Amino acid sequence: MFLESVLLACLIAFPLILKLIFPFFWTDFLYHIELLRILIKFVSRSRRRPPFLALDRFLEQVKTRPNKTFIVFENKPYSFKDADKESNKIANALRAVSVLRSGDPVVLFMLNEPAFIFCWLALAKLGCACALLNTSIRARSLISNFRCCRGAKVLIASAELQAAVEEVCEDLQQDDVMIFIMSEELRSSSSSSRVKSLSVLESSDSDVPQSYRANVSFTSPAVYIYTSGTTGLPKAAVINQTRLLAALAVLASNGVTERDVIYVTLPLYHTAGFLIGFLGSVETGSTIILRHKFSASRFWDECRLYNVTVIQYIGEVLRYLCNTPEKRDDKEHGVRLAIGNGLRADVWRKFLNRFGNIEVREFYASTEGNVGFVNYAGQIGAVGRVSYLHRKLFPYSLIQYDTERDEPVRDSKGLCVEVPKGQTGLLVSKITEIAPFVGYAENEHQTEKKRLRDVFKSGDVYFNSGDLLKIDRDNFIYFQDRVGDTFRWKGENVATTEVSDIIGFLDFVEEVNVYGVKVPGHEGRIGMAAVKIRDGMEFERTKMFNHVRNFLPAYAQPRFIRIQSCMEVTRTFKQIKLKLVEDGFNPTVTSDSMYFLCENEKTYVSITPFIYQQILTGSIKL
Ligand SMILES: *[C@@H]1O[C@H](CO)[C@@H](O)[C@H](O)[C@H]1NC(C)=O
Ligand SMILES: *[C@@H]1O[C@H](CO)[C@@H](O)[C@H](O)[C@H]1NC(C)=O
Ligand SMILES: *[C@@H]1O[C@H](CO)[C@@H](O)[C@H](O)[C@H]1NC(C)=O
């Protein structure tokens, strides 16, 4: 009797003790079970012959839930069956009018609208790969992006983009390209006979025979997604069919089911919108609420209207939401999950405080990379958890990086050096069969630049993520900075995201951008922050001074502050930063106010042309 009670007590106590010693045991355990289930599904699908493609998952959904709502756009719902029929019409129309053959790549230049998805499905049915162009590009960059996708002879554009296409059609004509506008008739008569409307009214909605995609294999390119590189030149990451199959699992592995409603406001031509949002819904059979573009002011009203349960974010999206005026019903909505990447700790806290108990799944991944992490434990600020199993599957490592020379540190044997836990290092991941790096289309130079050789053994090859990360004692992994963003001052590395997080805590700061600027006569770069002040508030110089003093080591405290009335939205973040770095702290190049951290006055003081000169000549010591 006694023994039994002890046993019983032990049994009850066991999970508690486990929780005490390994606080994340159950979370890890459940996540890995889920991961295993998905891995098994993935492997069994990837063994099927003929190959099981992402399109086949869509066709399964059409069979099992034909009348379930798949997409809602501007209040108009489309069921899975509707999407199937619409895409058949497009496929049949394309077959009738164009010279398109199975396997040819096609370039899509389309806004977020149902036709984008129908076109993609149509092309998948025809066995064609699709390049997804960024719809904000024009003129020369439109042409150079187009040419990244070699062999493309067909471009399909949204009706709204007809003018942008006509601007370049002469150049495209040289490449012998057919241009189709997704509308029944052209808005204005076209100057070129090569621009045609793709009419689907008369087109048959009968199924496209499977034989059209008979030559598609797992290694065939499926989509090309453009990533903006630091050099400004576009690179198209090749996503092959296997990769699509893996992408199907992302939402499913984070607990999304057919009962969920996903709000897709991010562009479909990017990884987040296409691979995660759209394909996630294809896999799970959930509903997509599609929007032309993100709107912070309409966001929650639409979430309520459509009973949205899952939202996606990248970078600044949640910050924009936190920056809208507070409302009484901020916590009244059905959103249970937010999934994305680039959420900073300060915004994360604000977001939860304000909008209630939403599970945030922050992940780390890149379109072309071969390793990813997901933070399934809700640890604020982390991009994921590392585990033995994960590392066995995807052999990655954080290695020492010399930010000054902009290259990995090499030991006497010429090999890289792993950093210990708690220290920041460059994330590299071994290129293997299950973690391949396909590279960029038509750009062997950029592709080779991402390959790092002789890492731990002579002859081995790793993917160089270009990102600096850190693993803590509890095995959480944190994104620190992009290589190149981190700068060195007084022999110390300054991670710009860390400094931004800390400044972001101040209530009068709406947005902040941290970077390093050169000062004559000094090695490295000194910290500077461009700050946008919240409406109706002002820059409290002394509060800022005390705050950076209390929370940042001396070398990381921004010595210069630039107050910006608005952050530019037309350029990419990278370009904005480059411009800021170029302007430096010279008060005469801009009408923005500039401040200087003054030790004597214990506050930030205005940089006058006189002070500027004194800094340049070294009479003010930094
Ligand atoms: C598949 O490839 C074979 C051999 O290259 C070719 O003859 C055939 O036409 C292709 N089928 C389709 C549907 O493109
Ligand atoms: C595509 O995926 C396969 C895995 O099925 C991979 O081995 C291959 O390297 C990938 N890339 C290309 C261009 O085939
Ligand atoms: C949202 O949910 C409410 C309550 O369950 C329901 O009455 C309403 O019809 C739903 N709206 C949509 C668009 O599904």
567 vs 581 pLDDT, higher one: 581
Ligand 1 close to Cβ of residue 212 (< 6 A) = yes
pLDDT cut 70: percent of the chain above it:
93
In ligand 2, the atom with minimum distance to the C-alpha of 438 is 11
Determine which of 3-17, 156-170, 459-473, 581-595 has the lowest per-residue pLDDT on average: 3-17
**Mean pLDDT of the region 435-464:** 84
**Mean pLDDT of the region 579-599:** 89
Q: What mean pLDDT value characterizes the chain?
A: 88
- Which residue of 219, 442, 447, 461 sits with most ligand 2 atoms within 8 Å of its CB, as the best mutation to test the pocket? 219
**Helices marked H in 483-600 — which ranges?**
496-503, 541-551, 573-583
> What pLDDT score was predicted for residue 230?
39
> What pLDDT score was predicted for residue 231?
40
Atom 1 of ligand 1 has which residue's CA nearest to it?
A: 215
Task: Label residue 581 by pLDDT band (50, 70, 90).
Answer: confident
> What pLDDT score was predicted for residue 232?
44
**Mean pLDDT of the region 126-148:** 85
Atom 2 of ligand 3 has which residue's CA nearest to it?
A: 307
> What pLDDT score was predicted for residue 27?
85
Structure-token match 């998905």, residue found:
38
CB 214 within 8 A of CB 188: no
Task: Label residue 485 by pLDDT band (50, 70, 90).
Answer: confident
Q: What is the pLDDT of residues 558-577, one digit of tens each?
A: 999 999 887 655 455 556 77
Q: What is the pLDDT of residues 199-242, one digit of tens each?
A: 888 899 999 999 999 999 999 999 999 875 434 456 788 899 98
- Which residue of 126, 210, 212, 215 sits with most ligand 1 atoms within 8 Å of its CB, as the best mutation to test the pocket? 215
Task: Label residue 311 by pLDDT band (50, 70, 90).
Answer: very high
- Cα(166)–Cα(179) distance, rounded to whole angstroms? 9
> What pLDDT score was predicted for residue 9?
67
Task: Indicate which ligand has the atom closest to the C-alpha of 43.
Answer: 2
Q: What is the pLDDT of residues 332-371, one digit of tens each?
A: 999 999 999 888 888 899 999 999 999 999 999 877 778 8
Atom 6 of ligand 1 has which residue's CA nearest to it?
A: 215
In ligand 1, the atom with minimum distance to the C-alpha of 101 is 14
Q: What is the pLDDT of residues 85-112, one digit of tens each?
A: 999 999 999 998 877 888 889 999 999 9
Q: How far apart are the CA of 245 and the centre of ligand 1, in A?
A: 23
Atom 2 of ligand 1 has which residue's CA nearest to it?
A: 215
Atom 14 of ligand 1 has which residue's CA nearest to it?
A: 102
DSSP state of 555: G
Q: How far apart are the CA of 220 and the centre of ligand 2, in A?
A: 8
Q: Which domains are delineated in the chain?
A: 79-240 (3.40.50.980), 369-482 (2.30.38.10), 486-617 (3.30.300.30)
**Mean pLDDT of the region 254-279:** 94
Rg (CA), the chain: 26
Structure-token match 């399934």, residue found:
376
- Cα(254)–Cα(269) distance, rounded to whole angstroms? 22
Q: How far apart are the CA of 307 and the centre of ligand 3, in A?
A: 6
Q: How far apart are the CA of 297 and the centre of ligand 1, in A?
A: 51
**Mean pLDDT of the region 61-83:** 98
Cα dihedral across residues 106, 276, 161, 119: positive or negative: positive
Long-range contacts of 328-334 (CB under 8 A, 24+ apart): 329/300, 329/304, 330/300, 330/354, 330/355, 330/356, 331/355, 331/356, 332/304, 333/300, 333/303, 333/304, 333/308, 334/303, 334/304, 334/307, 334/308, 334/309
Residue 77 has pLDDT above 90, yes or no: yes
Output the pTM of the full model: 0.81
Residue 42 has pLDDT above 70, yes or no: yes
3-state secondary structure at position 225 = strand
Q: How far apart are the CA of 282 and the centre of ligand 3, in A?
A: 22
Q: What one-letter code names the amino acid at 50?
A: P
